[in-house]
């Protein structure tokens, strides 16, 4: 009588053995033991039903686990501040600061005295040092919040005088007029869509005027028969001028001559400047308020300021961004064209050695993220078949480029040089 073959189900790995596997153990750290164990048990059940072999249980469990969200991606779109990709990537210094601040910190404690201290003093001091023209500074959770706080504290029940040509949509269907009116302020629109004069503003002023608002149209350009009033002239009207410069440029940048900066706007006479921290500044999402000491203090002490307060991680990242030697945003903006071409050519040659057909082509990168509309940055890209776009986007890591005339262009301006080998491997996986 022959020997009865062993039941293959007996070879299904034990749960504790699988949970000790390095890959699954690492997943426990980020997803929790219960979630990983459930995936292991489900894979074991599949093996017992004969759907997979016992040797495939470990990989099946890993495959069933959700990818971490949000996922890190390689931005090869040529858009430096891509809103859908989270705008500015943090510098290494800012990332390290966030990690350090993840535990208990001295965010509101003076370690020398053991007493309560000003919240976020390091970030605020760094911001004040970066813009000496500001008599005082404050930080809230985003750029729109900065403007809402200013409108609430300075013009609730009063009028905000603003040009019709500057009543912009700020993204995702949200519009500046709706944002401002939600604070209880009334809008006094002046001028026309394409032309507004100083006389238009002057005629609108009265006892109910809270402030004059100057908005930089940071994501579009109006050309032709146009006129707008600069902050320097608005400051002669005798009422506070609040200037929303949008992009968070703190000092002039020769690369972006038409982009207003905080220092220059304050010197021109603005009483208050509002801006974003996660655009040209290259830091975390935050709303920056800089200007007259009395106005900033009124905003800081307003009850709404508490609801708009930034957390310790943002403060840590902002301080490190301001103290640090440079940001990925600045590096991408000022990347040399020759160096970019050399990197793309090396990537092309490496892919060619593996049988992948790719071309080196000129590219026009843009600032994006509501900054410097109309400015194009000469760049270089790797041209691949358009059919690669989807698989690369769904790969690990996801790689995002842009499709033009049926070809996928991977612009390296925003891809760190250290990631070139990762990008090559991702393309090879798609090329087969």
Q: How confident is the model at residue 174 (pLDDT cuts 50, 70, 90)?
A: confident
Residue range of the domain that includes 55: 10-63
Same domain, 97 and 195: yes
Q: How far apart are CA 283 and CA 248, in angstroms?
A: 9
Cα distances (angstroms) measured from residue 143 to each of 29, 147, 170, 247? 34, 7, 10, 9
For residues 290 and 194, the model is more confident at: 290
Same domain, 203 and 238: yes
Same domain, 311 and 216: yes
Tell how many helices (H) and how many strands (E) occur in the chain: 18, 18
- Is residue 8 pLDDT above 70, yes or no? no
Q: What is the pLDDT of residue 109?
A: 94
- Specify if 2 maps to a domain: no
Same domain, 251 and 398: no
Same domain, 288 and 360: no
Find the mean pLDDT for residues 288-317.
97
Q: How far apart are CA 381 and CA 391, in angstroms?
A: 18
Same domain, 197 and 241: yes
Same domain, 243 and 104: yes
- Is residue 406 pLDDT above 70, yes or no? yes
Same domain, 280 and 147: yes
Same domain, 192 and 306: yes
Same domain, 178 and 294: yes
Which pTM was predicted?
0.88
Same domain, 177 and 295: yes
Domain end: 325, 358, 392, which one? 325
Q: How confident is the model at residue 7 (pLDDT cuts 50, 70, 90)?
A: low
Per-residue pLDDT of 329-364, as tens digits, reads 999 999 999 999 999 999 999 998 667 789 999 999
Residue 161 belongs to a domain with what CATH number? 3.40.640.10
Q: What is the pLDDT of residue 102?
A: 95
Find the mean pLDDT for residues 67-90.
92
Residue 81 burial (10 A CB sphere; 0-12, 13-18, 19+): buried
- Specify if 1 maps to a domain: no
Residue 375 belongs to a domain with what CATH number? 3.90.1150.180
Same domain, 109 and 184: yes
Per-residue pLDDT of 14-51, as tens digits, reads 999 999 999 999 999 989 999 999 999 999 999 999 99
Q: How confident is the model at residue 3 (pLDDT cuts 50, 70, 90)?
A: low
Which three-class secondary structure state does DSSP give residue 214? strand
What letter does residue 371 receive in the DSSP assignment?
S
Per-residue pLDDT of 95-146, as tens digits, reads 999 999 999 999 999 999 999 999 999 999 999 999 999 999 999 999 999 9
């Amino acid at each position: 009588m022959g020997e009865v073959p062993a039941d293959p189900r007996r070879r299904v790995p034990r749960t504790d053995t699988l949970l000790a596997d390095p890959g699954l153990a690492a997943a426990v750290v980020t997803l929790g033991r219960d979630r990983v164990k459930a995936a292991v048990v489900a894979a074991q059940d599949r093996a017992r039903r004969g759907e997979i072999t016992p040797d495939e249980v470990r990989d099946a469990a890993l495959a069933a686990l959700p990818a971490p969200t949000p996922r890190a991606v390689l931005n090869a779109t040529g858009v430096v501040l891509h809103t859908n990709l989270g705008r500015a990537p943090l510098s290494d210094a800012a990332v390290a600061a966030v990690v350090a601040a993840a535990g208990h910190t001295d965010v509101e404690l003076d370690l020398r005295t053991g007493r309560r201290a000003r919240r976020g003093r390091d970030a605020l001091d760094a911001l004040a040092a970066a813009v000496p023209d500001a008599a005082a500074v404050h930080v809230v959770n985003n750029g729109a919040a900065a403007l809402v706080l200013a409108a609430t504290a300075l013009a609730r029940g009063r009028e905000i005088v603003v040009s019709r040509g500057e009543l912009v949509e700020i993204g995702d269907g949200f519009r500046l007029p709706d944002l401002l009116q939600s604070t209880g302020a009334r809008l006094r629109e002046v001028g026309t869509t394409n032309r507004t004069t100083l006389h238009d503003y002057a005629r609108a002023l009265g006892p109910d005027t809270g402030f004059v608002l100057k908005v930089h149209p940071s994501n579009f350009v109006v050309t032709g028969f146009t006129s707008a009033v600069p902050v320097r002239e608005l400051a002669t009207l005798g009422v506070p001028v609040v200037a929303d410069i949008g992009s968070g440029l703190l000092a002039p940048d020769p690369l972006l001559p038409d982009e207003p900066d905080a220092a220059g706007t304050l010197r021109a006479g603005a009483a208050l400047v509002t801006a974003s921290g996660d655009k040209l500044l290259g830091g975390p999402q935050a709303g920056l308020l800089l200007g007259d000491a009395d106005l900033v203090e009124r905003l800081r002490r307003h009850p709404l300021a508490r609801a708009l307060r930034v957390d310790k991680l943002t403060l840590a990242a902002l301080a490190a961004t301001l103290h640090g030697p440079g940001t990925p945003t600045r590096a991408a903006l000022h990347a040399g064209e020759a160096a970019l071409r050399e990197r793309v050519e090396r990537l092309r040659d490496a892919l060619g050695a593996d049988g992948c057909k790719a071309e080196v082509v000129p590219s026009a990168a843009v600032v994006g993220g509501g900054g410097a509309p109309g400015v194009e940055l000469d760049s270089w890209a790797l041209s691949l078949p358009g059919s690669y776009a989807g698989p690369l986007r769904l790969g690990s890591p996801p790689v995002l480029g842009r499709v033009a005339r049926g070809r996928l262009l991977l612009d390296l301006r925003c891809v760190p040089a250290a990631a070139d080998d990762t990008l090559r491997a991702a393309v090879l996986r798609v090329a087969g």
